[in-house]
């Protein structure tokens, strides 16, 4: 879980850093965009899907939800790569939001118990898949949101390592 949080952190900060690089060519930009999409589908699509399968004890009942998230994520990224943003807004929920929401559910796993938590995670993943491809406009979060994401990553990392629970 912590690796996903730091993947989110890197995803949020790699673009602004890359744009500050001098002598960046169009090929560099294109390569970075493709690499970013690959990292997004792995970290925000495949990894949460794998968590779902693992938490579901590899039950075949959990495969459709995992498959749906990966397919929706791939469709969402392909749409973004072709059409981009309109007026600074995304169409559908950006795929990196999957990490934020999935990691926010995990602190409730002990409270809910294993069986209930696995189905809550399943429902969360299915809802995320739908939102990733849903036809609504989501503004790009910039500015102060970078501090919010950095704080979230650090706080959830501390929670995962038990720093906040001692």
Residues 148-158: b if buried by 16+ CB within 10 A, e if exposed? ebeebbeebbe
Residue 166 inside a domain? The answer is no
Is residue 165 situated within a structural domain? no
* 68 in a structural domain: yes
pLDDT bucket at 1, cuts 50 / 70 / 90: confident
Distance CA 119, CA 75 (A): 24
Q: Per-residue pLDDT tens for 136-146?
A: 988 888 888 88
Q: Is residue 70 part of a domain?
A: yes
pTM (whole model) above 0.75: yes
Is residue 166 predicted with pLDDT exceeding 70? no
Residue 41 domain flag: yes
Q: How far is CA 19 from CA 60, 61, 94, in A?
A: 44, 43, 20
Provide CB contacts within 8 A for 97, sequence distance 6+.
Answer: 44, 128, 131
Q: What is each CA distance from 11 to 8, 37, 152, in whole angstroms? A: 5, 10, 14
Range of the structural domain that residue 68 is part of:
2-18+27-160
Q: How many separate domains does the chain show?
A: 1
Average pLDDT of the chain to the nearest whole number: 89
pLDDT, one tens digit per residue, over 68-90 is: 999 999 999 998 888 876 677 88
């Amino acid at each position: 879980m912590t690796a996903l949080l730091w993947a989110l952190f890197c995803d949020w900060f790699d673009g602004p850093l890359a744009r500050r690089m001098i002598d960046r060519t169009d090929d560099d930009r294109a390569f970075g965009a493709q690499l970013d999409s690959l990292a997004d589908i792995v970290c925000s699509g495949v990894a949460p899907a794998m968590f779902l399968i693992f938490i579901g004890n590899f039950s075949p009942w959990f495969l459709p939800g995992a498959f749906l998230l990966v397919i929706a994520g791939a469709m969402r990224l392909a749409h973004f790569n072709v059409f981009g943003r309109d007026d600074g807004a995304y169409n559908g929920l950006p795929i990196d939001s999957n990490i934020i929401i999935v990691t926010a559910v995990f602190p409730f796993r002990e409270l809910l118990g294993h069986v209930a938590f696995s189905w809550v995670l399943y429902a969360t993943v299915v809802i995320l898949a739908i939102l990733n491809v849903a036809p609504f406009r989501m503004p790009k979060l910039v500015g102060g949101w970078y501090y919010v994401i950095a704080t979230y990553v650090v706080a959830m990392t501390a929670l995962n390592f038990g720093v906040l629970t001692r």
